[in-house]
């Protein structure tokens, strides 16, 4: 199992390096032109992780929106909803963040990030 996470991290790093190397968001453009590809939501999710790590909030927001619009029933939709709200929070767009966190809780009340979402909403509302 420990090798699996290392392998996933390697794939994310390689994908981000490829995206950087070919410039102009090549992986995102690939996903835009291959909407029906089974790999597209996975690529977008990996890019979302990379954009979060590299603190690229705009691209993190755009990637999460793409997943939610194009692949709302994918296994990546929950994480994309959380990442979208987090991007808004990091961009100091508090009303948008609270709205997106609310959408997360509506759709995933017992989700992976539900406890963090509830905590974040309380903090944001107290500002």
Angle at 87 between CA 28 and CA 114, to 5 degrees: 110
Q: Quick one: pLDDT band at residue 83, thresholds 50, 70, 90?
A: very high
Range of the domain at 23: 2-125
Give me the number of domains the chain comprises: 1
Instruction: With cut-offs at 50, 70 and 90, classify the pLDDT of residue 86.
Output: very high
CB-based contact 101:83 (threshold 8 Å): no
For 29-65, write each residue's pLDDT tens digit. 778 888 888 888 998 898 888 888 888 899 899 999 9
For the entire predicted model, the pTM comes to 0.77
Distance of alpha carbon 95 from alpha carbon 111, whole angstroms: 22
Q: Which helix (H) or strand (E) holds 70?
A: helix 57-70
Residue 64 CB coordination number (10 Å)? 29
Q: Identify the CATH number of the domain in which residue 118 sits.
A: 1.25.40.10
- For residues 79 and 117, is the Cβ–Cβ distance under 8 A? no
């Amino acid at each position: 199992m420990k090798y699996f996470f290392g392998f996933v991290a390697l794939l994310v790093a390689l994908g981000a390096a490829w995206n950087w190397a070919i410039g102009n968001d090549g992986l995102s453009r690939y996903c835009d032109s291959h909407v029906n590809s089974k790999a597209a939501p996975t690529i977008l999710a990996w890019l979302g992780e990379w954009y979060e790590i590299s603190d690229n909030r705009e691209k993190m927001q755009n990637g999460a929106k793409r997943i939610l619009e194009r692949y709302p029933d994918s296994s990546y939709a929950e994480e994309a909803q959380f990442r979208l709200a987090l991007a808004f929070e990091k961009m100091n767009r508090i009303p948008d963040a609270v709205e997106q966190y609310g959408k997360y809780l509506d759709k995933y009340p017992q989700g992976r990030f539900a406890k963090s979402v509830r905590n974040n909403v309380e903090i944001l509302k107290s500002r």
